[in-house]
Chain A
Amino acid sequence: MQIAVSGGKGGTGKSTVAINLAVELARRFKLVLADLDVEAPNDHLLLGVELAGEEPVNQFMPKFDYSKCTKCRKCAEVCEEHAIITLKDGTPFLMPNLCSGCRACEIVCPVPGAILEAFRVIGHTYVTETPYGFTLVTGKLREGEERSMPLVVEAKKRARNLDYELLMVDTAAGTGNTVSKAIEGSKLLIAVTEPTPLGIHDTELILQLGKLMGLKTWVVVNRADLGDVGKVREIAEKYGAEVVAEIPYSENIVRSYVSGRPIVLEDVPEAKIFRELAERVAGFLGGGE
């Protein structure tokens, strides 16, 4: 079973919702939380844990054996990323940063052995046991690498290979295709939003994505007292989604964010909101609508 926590824009408190839900849901399910915000993974910081179990993500890139290459340029023509440039006489050269590792060049090269397998490390995945009874999987793109899709795919794979009843994915901000890749396969999408005009604008996009993917979608309104929750409800309704929780702006949450200790563990009113939300999620998953 899989559920996803996402939000149209950055800084809405998506990770806060994800980690607190994870802590709470780990009491009921054997749980894995996958931090698939590979450009800015933060769940481990919010949980106050050090990343462990590092594994490099190696990505294919072509290496040319110039003694065999006939300079036919086919590899360069087929590369959708324009990662291969050719000299006037047809000699191919790779610009590693642009290469997505798709192997299209290898497939079309007519000369066996002209393209050799080389790899480069584009990032890492981590598997960390948290003290809260669940496992955290983290994907981290290497600085200077442009493409986050392969890392999202790898981190998700690593998470899926673990033993769990419930996989929870925390996605990047935005609504691009790496977010859809992270969300893919979820039974429920929890969209975290703010009731500000900017937040509402971005919420509409994530709801659109949820609808396109045919997902049951819930909306959690963070910093609910900073704006008009009614507007969020309107938008949610338009997309057949439901507002299921409102979290007020709270110094307690800010403090927990900073100190790396989930707020559900504290004896404060905000903790109750997350506990109730977790209960609702558990009810939904157990009963299966």
Chain B
Amino acid sequence: MATASISNSPSKWVVLPHYAFAAGAFLVLSILLLFSTNAFGGHYFHPKLLTLTHVAVLGWATMVIFGALYQLLPVVLDCKLYSEKLAFYTFGLLGVGTILLAYSFWNFSLGLVLHVAACCLLAAFVLFNINVIQTARKAPKWTIEADFIVTSAIWLLLTGFVGLLMAINFTNPFLPQDHVRYLQLHAHMGMAGWFLLLIIGVGSKLIPMFLLAHPEDTRKLNWSYNLINGGLVFFIFDHLFFRSPLTPLYAALVVGGLVLFLLFLHDAKVLGHRKDMDLGMKQTFLALALLIVPIVLVFLVSTDLGLPQQVLSSLYLVYGLSIFLGFISALILGQTFKTLPFIVWMHVYEDHVGRYKTPLPKDLFNTHLLRWQNISYLLGFLLLVVGVLWRVEAVILAGSIAFCLAAILYTINVFHLLVHKAQHLTPFVYGNARA
């Protein structure tokens, strides 16, 4: 008989500040979007678009992922986080780096501030890697989820390194090829290497858990890992040294890996005992459905179809939008209300359970706000995509307003959760609890 250990959860001060910063960044992102409607008419290498992208991927997505991961890593790996102190330093460096980077891109001031920002971010990624790898080394059992998470952290570090090289290259050109080629490399390392692998690693553990399913066959996940990493490595080498027309093939490898992950989730859904999905899970499945957009577009933008340059530029913009403001944002909007209420509940009520009648995590946030957040988000995203494709600024503005509303509702709900305190608890009486 194996006796279980005590909880491996980190302190709430390691986790919760990430959610607060990320909510603020999401709000800032939506406000910047309102003032950037004129930026979607041309090439993606545009100061405002660079700002929006980096606020979205660093301040919003990476920040919330770091926070959630410090809580989830001990669950996935079944051991304590290596260092809470490292997590604090990482948070500070990521926060400062993101703000400085956003300031630099928005003003297109590509000097010292940008260099400092890139150094802060790279330092944050180095510390994050140390924390993740050292935690994984303590894990009693190595799993495919651990492979995904550790590899994603390494890809994040490489993405940051390429970013730093590009930042230096703005003022001291030394890179042998065109800047946009490195930007494509940087973006895809971040999208497929960091976000996709991380989401699969955490999602393959969490989503079946939420569905009450225990799929034991991990062959699909193993192949998913091989295909995504293989496709990405081939793409990088080809992109740097050969420039062959094989990019769609590498995209197919990555998409194949993604499809295997979706099939794994489908198996979990079939096996799952929980048929009634809450709003957080519905939003999560919406995010997975939205993946169809970048899956189709990656082949359109990587295959030479002879499309007019203007159409190709719009497709590139929608491709980026569908990943950052589509899949990744939709997923975070849904999973925030699966993870954060639970974390807050645990820290507020841990000492009261069994002695007082306590609410459940789902009682700690406003469901009406969440429903309207999900509706306004989807409306905003669809309007943005249509507006960018048709190049109609008024539609882009309408999408930005809806997106702003979603961000306001999200931020209210997140801060409502963060400041939650136990109040008016009634002592446990066997007649008044749910049995």
Q: Answer yes or no: are A and B bound together in one complex.
A: no
